[in-house]
Amino acid sequence: MAHGRYLFVSDLHLDPLAPQAIAQFTSFLRGPATRCDGLYILGDLFETWIGDDDDEPARRQVCEALRALVDSGVPCHVQRGNRDFLLGAGFAARTGCTLLPDPVLFEADSLRAVLSHGDVLCTGDVRYQHFRSLVRAPGFQAGYLALPLATRRAVARIARAGSRRHVRQLREEIMDVEADAVARMLQVAGADLLIHGHTHRPGVHAVQVAGRPCTRIVLGDWYDQGSCLTLHADGRHELAGLPR
């Protein structure tokens, strides 16, 4: 892969009830995102995604904006998050985006980075990890997607309310990533850099993996302001608000 400049975002949680966030993101796609060599969205692009046949207008607007970016020549890659784990081939066809597994290795020149939404690293939350395994099972997803759209919307509302109650009950440290899980992901990938979202705690952290210095970069959410990582193929990076 040639020298380049790549943008990484996560946890946009786009939702029809927050039109200002959708407007901010579509503006980002029309502006800064057009001047990079690849956009990577590391999960929770949407607050909910009930299937690729969802015809809700705000989500359709986001899909059309992504398609316009891809058609302009900028590759866009998307990981599934804990809110939009049902993104599938239909979404990829609508937007032109490439769906990525979690985790996945990103390579540019000598740079090796492992990308993840980050929820799989929160191993202290045993109840959530069990739920994650359940809803990622092909059989469960096929059964849910066979339900009528209206039923899926109702189920999603109930699940959202349950998720919020669960988060309020957790101690803060349980909701963060576990050091052992971070080290294991970096070691298995043979990477020096881990980029993830999910925790809504943006920052750059130095970590040691088997005596080797590595870096963990946490992307911020978009509730209050856009958060974006600019990563260069030579390893330089800036984690800040939206690039101009």
The ranges assigned to domains in the chain are 5-240
Burial 143-176 (b: 16+ CB within 10 A, else e): ebeeeeeeebeeebeeeeeeeeeeeeeeeeebbb
Residue of 31, 37, 70 lying closest to 233 (CA atoms) = 37
What pLDDT was estimated at residue 110?
83
Q: Is 208 helix (H, G, I), strand (E, B) or coil?
A: strand
Local structure of residue 97 (DSSP, 8 states): P
The answer to whether 10 and 44 are in contact (CB under 8 A) is: yes
Task: Name the phi and psi angles at 153, rounded to 5.
Answer: -65, -40
Neighbours of 43 (CB within 10 A): 29
Residue of 16, 21, 20, 97 lying closest to 57 (CA atoms) = 16
What pLDDT was estimated at residue 166?
57
Task: State the Cα–Cα distance between residues 193 and 75, nearest whole angstrom.
Answer: 21
Query: How many Cα atoms sit within 13 Å of 183 on the Cβ side?
Result: 10
5-9/39-42 β-pairing: parallel
Contacts of 218 (CB under 8 A, 6+ apart): 118, 196, 197, 199, 201, 202, 203, 204, 205
Tens of pLDDT along the chain (244 residues) come to 346 999 999 999 999 999 999 999 999 999 999 999 999 999 999 999 999 998 899 999 999 999 999 999 999 999 999 999 999 999 999 999 999 999 999 999 889 999 999 999 999 999 889 999 999 999 999 999 999 999 999 998 888 776 666 555 555 544 689 999 999 999 999 999 999 999 999 999 999 999 999 999 999 999 877 899 999 999 999 999 887 6
What pLDDT was estimated at residue 165?
61
What pLDDT was estimated at residue 157?
86
Task: State the Cα–Cα distance between residues 96 and 90, nearest whole angstrom.
Answer: 10
Instruction: Name the pTM for this structure.
Output: 0.92
Q: Which CATH architecture has domain 5-240?
A: 4-Layer Sandwich (3.60)
